[in-house]
A = this chain, B = another copy of it.
Amino acid sequence: MGMIGGSLEAFIGAVHRRGSQLDGEIELVCGAFSSNPEKSKATGEALYLNPSRVYGSYEEMILKEKELPEGERMDFVSIVTPNHVHFPAAKMALENGFHVVCDKPATLNLAEAKELKTIIDKSGLIFALTHNYTGYPMVKEAKAMVDAGDLGEIRKIIVEYPQGWLIDLVEATGQKQADWRTDPARCGAAGAIGDIGTHAENLVEYITGLHITELCADLTIFVDGRKLDDDGNILLHYNNGAKGLLHCSQICNGEENDLNVRIYGTKAGISWKQMDPNTLIVRTRDDGARIVRTNVGKLSANAMAHTRQPAGHPEGYVETFANIYRNFSMALRARWEGKEADPIYDFPGIEEGIRGMAFIENVVRSANDHQNKWTKFEI
| Chain A positions near chain B (C-beta within 8 angstroms) | 11, 14-15, 17-18, 21-24, 28, 47-48, 151, 155-156, 158, 160, 162-165, 167, 216, 218, 220, 222, 231, 233, 235, 243-245, 247, 249, 251-258, 262, 264-269, 274-277, 281-293, 296-298, 308-319, 369-374
Indicate if the CB atoms of B167 and A254 lie closer than 8 Å: no
Contacts of A21 in B (CB 8 A): 21-22, 24
> Complex: how many Å from CA A22 to CA B164?
28
The listed residue (B254, B285, B318) touching A284 by CB distance below 8 A is B254
> Complex: how many Å from CA A212 to CA B194?
28
Number of chain copies forming the complex: 4
The listed residue (B18, B164, B220) touching A285 by CB distance below 8 A is B164
Contacts of A277 in B (CB 8 A): 314
Indicate if the CB atoms of A253 and B258 lie closer than 8 Å: no
- Is the contact region of chain A dominated by helix, strand, or loop, or is it mixed? loop
> Complex: how many Å from CA A374 to CA B216?
11
Further contacts, 12 of them, CB under 8 A, given A276-B314, A314-B316, A372-B372: A21-B21, A164-B283, A216-B216, A216-B373, A253-B283, A254-B283, A284-B297, A287-B298, A290-B290, A290-B291, A313-B317, A370-B373
The closest CB in chain B to the CB of A287 belongs to: B297
Indicate if the CB atoms of B293 and A256 lie closer than 8 Å: yes
Indicate if the CB atoms of A11 and B156 lie closer than 8 Å: no
> Complex: how many Å from CA A162 to CA B290?
18
Indicate if the CB atoms of B252 and A269 lie closer than 8 Å: yes
> Complex: how many Å from CA A233 to CA B156?
10
Contacts of A289 in B (CB 8 A): 254, 290-291, 293, 296
The listed residue (B151, B231, B285) touching A155 by CB distance below 8 A is B231
- Given the known interface contacts A233-B235, A255-B283, A308-B14, the answer about A291 and B288 at a Cβ–Cβ threshold of 8 Å is yes
A-B contact pairs, 6 of them (CB 8 A): A18-B23, A156-B251, A162-B262, A257-B311, A276-B276, A315-B318
- Given the known interface contacts A257-B313, A283-B253, the answer about A290 and B293 at a Cβ–Cβ threshold of 8 Å is no
Contacts of A312 in B (CB 8 A): 163, 255-258, 274-275
Indicate if the CB atoms of B243 and A216 lie closer than 8 Å: no
Indicate if the CB atoms of A24 and B11 lie closer than 8 Å: no
Contacts of A311 in B (CB 8 A): 165, 256-257
- Given the known interface contacts A251-B155, A290-B289, the answer about A22 and B216 at a Cβ–Cβ threshold of 8 Å is no
Taking the nearest CB of chain B, how far is it from the CB of A70, in angstroms?
A: 17
Contacts of A308 in B (CB 8 A): 14, 18, 318
Contacts of A155 in B (CB 8 A): 222, 231, 251
> Complex: how many Å from CA A264 to CA B167?
10
> Complex: how many Å from CA A262 to CA B255?
11
Indicate if the CB atoms of B318 and A285 lie closer than 8 Å: no
> Complex: how many Å from CA A35 to CA B282?
42
Indicate if the CB atoms of B243 and A218 lie closer than 8 Å: yes
Contacts of A28 in B (CB 8 A): 24
> Complex: how many Å from CA A302 to CA B47?
24
Taking the nearest CB of chain B, how far is it from the CB of A272, in angstroms?
A: 13
Contacts of A373 in B (CB 8 A): 216, 369-373
Contacts of A233 in B (CB 8 A): 235, 243-245
> Complex: how many Å from CA A267 to CA B254?
9
- Given the known interface contacts A21-B22, A23-B18, the answer about A164 and B264 at a Cβ–Cβ threshold of 8 Å is yes
Indicate if the CB atoms of B165 and A309 lie closer than 8 Å: no
Taking the nearest CB of chain B, how far is it from the CB of A299, in angstroms?
A: 9
Contacts of A298 in B (CB 8 A): 286-287
- Given the known interface contacts A24-B21, A269-B255, A373-B371, the answer about A292 and B285 at a Cβ–Cβ threshold of 8 Å is no
